[in-house]
Structure 1
Amino acid sequence: MQSKNQLVELPLFAEKQVTLVLKREDLLHPFISGNKYRKLKYNLLEANNSGHGTILTFGGAFSNHIEATSFAAKEKGFKSIGIIRGEELVDSWHKNTTLLKAHEDGMKFKFVSRDDYRRKEDSDFLADLTKEFGEFYLVPEGGTNTLAIKGCEEIITEDDKQFNFICSSVGTGGTVSGLINSSFPHQEVLGFSSLKGDFLKKDIDKLTNNIRWNLISDYHFGGYAKISQELIHFINEFKKYTNIPLDPIYTGKMMFGLFDMVRRDTFAKGTKVLAIHTGGLQGIAGMNSVLKKKKLPLLDI
């Protein structure tokens, strides 16, 4: 399955003579959109080939990965278990749109403390989960592993050879690593970090041997799931003029960064940029509930 490329036609790009095209990975699937579709593809095949009947994974309360995994597991005939960060959600999870949808898709939850959640890669912790739930196929938090990267390598096609830059948001590093691996020799990949700190560069270095990439760390807006009125305004204006929705956690920040870089003449005239829309639109409803409590403007849905 392939997504479509959509030209972003706005005055800024005409003025700067830069071409920006958005690869609409968000349209791949109504519930397993974008990079989640790519990351789960080969993991679910491996789970089936290895005889597993249950998928277990990790995520936060508004995790796109949790919702995507629950639906994909149901679609492919697996049971699913979500280890969810935050004990405080035990009595209130049904008020959370992401978790409610995952539950409707058959996912069972185990809510753990933040300290326990940090142990998600510890063999002892995983052994305890096996005792509790039986054998399972483990998909890491965010879905990133070698099979996920293999799936993300399929995002770039021969038709994308015309572009000078490939751009993507970065969370765990799996998607951008796949893009780096499959990019053409004349292309540079720009990853826009949604997290605060430089640790992602080391993580990506471990996942790819290609050196034609750069991590942009100037547009995280304070860190993961952090958002400002400026970013809300940008996302709403972008949708108003292009009819393309952006999520506030990943793609919205990347696009804000790209606009700023174009405005500052980072790209030479005639440059062609392909930006990857990694989906995650289901998170808008959850973010709006947070913004509403803070009496901030809401994102258009």
Structure 2
Amino acid sequence: MPATPSDPPGLSRLRPALPSPLQPAADDRFERHGVRLLLKRDDLIHQDLPGNKWRKLAPNLLAAAGRPVLTFGGAYSNHLRATAAAGRLLGFRTVGVVRGDELAHRPLNPSLAQCAADGMRLHFVDRRTYRAKADPQVLAGLLSAHGECEVIPEGGSNAMAAQGCTELGRELLGRVDVAAVACGTGGTLAGLAAGLAPGQRALGIPVLRGGFLGDAVRDLQREAFGGPAGTWSLDERFHFGGYARTTPGLHAFADDFEDRHGLPIERLYVAKLLYALTELAGQGAFPAGTTVAAVITGRPDPTEPPGAPQKPPGGH
């Protein structure tokens, strides 16, 4: 079985802080319904590879064993930034295949500029080609252009990533009833559920539209574990219009949560998760006596202030 993020030979220079803290969050919107809210601070694992980025990338980087890495993402991809940072810190070459024509992305936005500053070679492709990125001919063309590379899928979600995220569930054994996480590509939820014990369940809050994540999680669990693993569900009502879409109401909620708990709230994933849990608690979705952990998978983008105008759609 591939090494997990808690067993990181070869990655010791990244010095992750594991296990991540589990902090109580006294909040009357939960307490009045008999629900206890905890914050699983995965955003504190590593400065450059926070949260699920570390958990998903670590086993993939172990498998790459120092070879160049080629991966995929949109113009504001957290995954591309984390991969580029890992390449800088560990000294391997990275290639980022970016969705969209190059001229449309010049000058580079702050996210892509950071990738380039960390040494990532950016390869822009049109949206039609990007949709076909798993096609053998498309992959062959990319590898012909950039040389032999370890290919990691968009968002870092593959069987190894799901296996890496099981450690997240194990860190919550016996401590919570429900572990909730925002979902982009499904890899974190697939592994989280597998790491939990019977009687615990994982709840995924998709941040994009489409209704495809259920199949993605099932496919990942089949590849990673041979079949279904753990108890999980999705609530697809809280995407706020799709990936990178936000509303003034969501920003107001995030501002208020920051004031209540002193926690900087990332808007595209974490804010939607916390909003969903607050709404679900108010709807009575959690029986009295339930302990819910919200997995804080990232921190606000340092290149943009909270409440900044919504970004164009980009990759996880």
TM beyond 0.5: yes
8 Å contact kept, 1:84–1:109: yes
The answer to whether 1:74 aligns with 2:88 is: yes
1:108-119 superposed matches below 5 A: 108-119=121-132
8 Å contact kept, 1:98–1:283: no
1:122 to 1:158, Cα distance in 2 relative to 1, 3 A:
closer
1:20 to 1:171, Cα distance in 2 relative to 1, 3 A:
same
1:292 to 1:278, Cα distance in 2 relative to 1, 3 A:
closer
Equivalents in 2 of 1:200, 1:292: separation in Å?
Answer: 22
Q: 1:135-189 CA distances to partner (integer Å, 9 max, x unpaired)?
A: 0011110000111111111112355413111111111000000011111101111
Instruction: Supply the AA of the counterpart residue of 2:26.
Output: E
Equivalents in 2 of 1:28, 1:54: separation in Å?
Answer: 24
The answer to whether 1:102 aligns with 2:115 is: yes
Equivalents in 2 of 1:239, 1:289: separation in Å?
Answer: 16
TM-score, structure 1 as length reference: 0.91
Instruction: Supply the AA of the counterpart residue of 2:271.
Output: G
8 Å contact kept, 2:192–2:202: yes
Where 1:156 maps in the other structure, the secondary structure is: helix
Equivalents in 1 of 2:72, 2:150: separation in Å?
Answer: 12
Equivalents in 2 of 1:7, 1:202: separation in Å?
Answer: 33
Q: Judge which range, 203-212 or 175-184, deviates more.
A: 203-212
Q: CA RMSD in A?
A: 1.9
Equivalents in 2 of 1:140, 1:280: separation in Å?
Answer: 22
2:174 pairs, out of 130, 141, 161, with 161
Determine which structure has the larger helix proportion and give its number: 1
Shift of 1:12: 1.4
Instruction: Supply the AA of the counterpart residue of 1:117.
Output: Y
Where structure 1 has 5 or more consecutive residues not aligned to the other structure, the ranges are 294-301
Match of 2:47 in 1: 30
1:133 pairs, out of 136, 146, 167, with 146
Match of 1:238 in 2: 257
Equivalents in 1 of 2:105, 2:31: separation in Å?
Answer: 52
Match of 1:299 in 2: none
Match of 1:296 in 2: none
Q: How many residues align?
A: 289
Where structure 2 has 5 or more consecutive residues not aligned to the other structure, the ranges are 1-17, 222-227
TM-score, structure 2 as length reference: 0.87
1:185 pairs, out of 183, 186, 198, with 198
Equivalents in 2 of 1:75, 1:288: separation in Å?
Answer: 31
